[in-house]
Amino acid sequence: MTIEHQFIKNATEWRQKALSASLAFGASSAQAEDVAQDTMLKLWQMRAELSRYRNIEALVSVMARNLTISLHRKPSGEALSTTLNTLSDSSPDPEQQLMGREAVMQLEQRLRELPPRQHAVLIMRQVEHRSYKEIGRLLGIEETSAKVLLSRARKWLLNELSKE
């Protein structure tokens, strides 16, 4: 059995474990869905190395816990533009302010390069804090499609920003 087939065979169980762990650490159901999705994405990316771990379920729990803790540390309820402006203006050093503004401009440029649906899903989820169900209804797509689009947008942005 290939690594991919083995991964697919266990994915549902691992996703449920990630969801439960995230909920146990205080995430809302929508946040726990995001954490479970991110956990599964990270597991998929490291699928070739999973055989090194004795207990993958424990790994899933730890990953979900860490992602949930990180989620709680982020400021909530702020619009993306407010957060970006804060990043660019919070430093008293003019050189750091300039670097922050450049980083914000790069991020904004990358956001504009996203395909329209991915951009819409990302904004609806991250800025407007809409549920996947609502996003699906507004865009006329399935809830799972909204999750996939968000995942692809996040992954693409991460790859593009890490190149710089």
| Residue 49: predicted pLDDT | 85
Q: Which fold has domain 80-163?
A: Arc Repressor Mutant, subunit A (1.10.10)
Tens of pLDDT along the chain (164 residues) come to 787 888 888 889 999 999 998 888 888 888 888 889 889 888 888 888 888 888 999 999 999 988 888 877 654 444 455 445 555 455 556 766 666 677 777 777 888 888 888 888 888 888 778 889 988 888 889 999 999 999 999 888 888 877 76
Strand locations in 28-102 (E): none
Q: How far is CA 79 from CA 35, 119, 123, 130, 160, in A?
A: 20, 15, 10, 13, 22
Domain ranges of the chain: 3-73, 80-163
Instruction: Return the ∠ at Cα 111 (arms to 98 and 99), rounded to 5°.
Output: 10
Q: What is the percentage of the chain residues whose pLDDT exceeds 90?
A: 15
Q: Which residues make Cβ contacts (< 8 Å) with residue 99, sequence separation at least 6?
A: none
| pLDDT, tens digit (0-9, with 9 covering 90-100), for 70-106 | 877 654 444 455 445 555 455 556 766 666 677 777 7
Question: Structure tokens of 19?
Answer: 């969801």
Greatest CA separation found in the chain?
A: 57
| Whole-number Å distance between alpha carbons of 47 and 7 | 7
